[in-house]
Amino acid sequence: MPPAMVCIHHAGELKATDRRRREPARRSCHSTGKVDLVSGSDLYQRLGRHAGTAAIVDDFYRRVLADADLQHYFAGVSMPIQRRHMTAFLITAVGRPETYRGRDLSSAHRGLAVTGSDFEGIAELLGQSLREHEVAEEDVTTVLDRIAALRPQIVQADN
């Protein structure tokens, strides 16, 4: 049976389990007749929607925690929460309005003294995780460009 139509205005009323079963994007709204181009960005679809992005984030933090230069930043950090926040954050960054409820990035990274080279290291590992999940090179570039734009909020060390 095809999934029921749902418009952008009422999608928030669905239970999470219902939402997972829905087909992506470009549904028209029953009340305005407008086509919904917002709720399912194409890039989000190509990352594999929520489940695909969560798998990329899992792989990413496995790499981070195995990296001798980066793992110390995460000592004492709750990784399940971290993975959840990063997944929501990335989904927002690829254009889908998702409910990222974490702190703003400047506050989250204040006091961590993240260096420029560690920022590059994190971006490199994220690129590896995206490629590992067969994300097209053009899309990897798009995601990494958006991440690079966040640099000033994250790198707060002097070097």
Residue with nearest beta carbon to ligand HEM = 102
Smallest separation, CB 137 to ligand HEM (Å): 19
Q: What is the DSSP annotation of the chain? A: -PPPP--TTTGGGS-HHHHHHSPPS-PBPTTT--B--SSS-HHHHHTTHHHHHHHHHHHHHHHHHT-TTTGGGGTT--HHHHHHHHHHHHHHHTT------S--HHHHHTTS---HHHHHHHHHHHHHHHHHTT--HHHHHHHHHHHHTTHHHH--S--
Closer Cβ to ligand HEM, 11 or 74, answer by number = 74
Closer Cβ to ligand HEM, 83 or 133, answer by number = 83
Smallest separation, CB 1 to ligand HEM (Å): 37
Residues that bind ligand HEM (CB under 6 A): 70, 73-74, 77, 82, 85-86, 89, 102-103, 105, 108-109, 112, 114, 118-119, 122-123, 147, 150, 154
Smallest separation, CB 89 to ligand HEM (Å): 4
Question: How many CA atoms are closer than 13 Å to the CA of 125, on its beta-carbon side?
Answer: 20
Smallest separation, CB 2 to ligand HEM (Å): 35
Closest by CA to 23, choosing from 14, 148, 67, is: 14
Closer Cβ to ligand HEM, 104 or 132, answer by number = 104
Closer Cβ to ligand HEM, 5 or 149, answer by number = 149
Closer Cβ to ligand HEM, 15 or 72, answer by number = 72
Smallest separation, CB 155 to ligand HEM (Å): 7
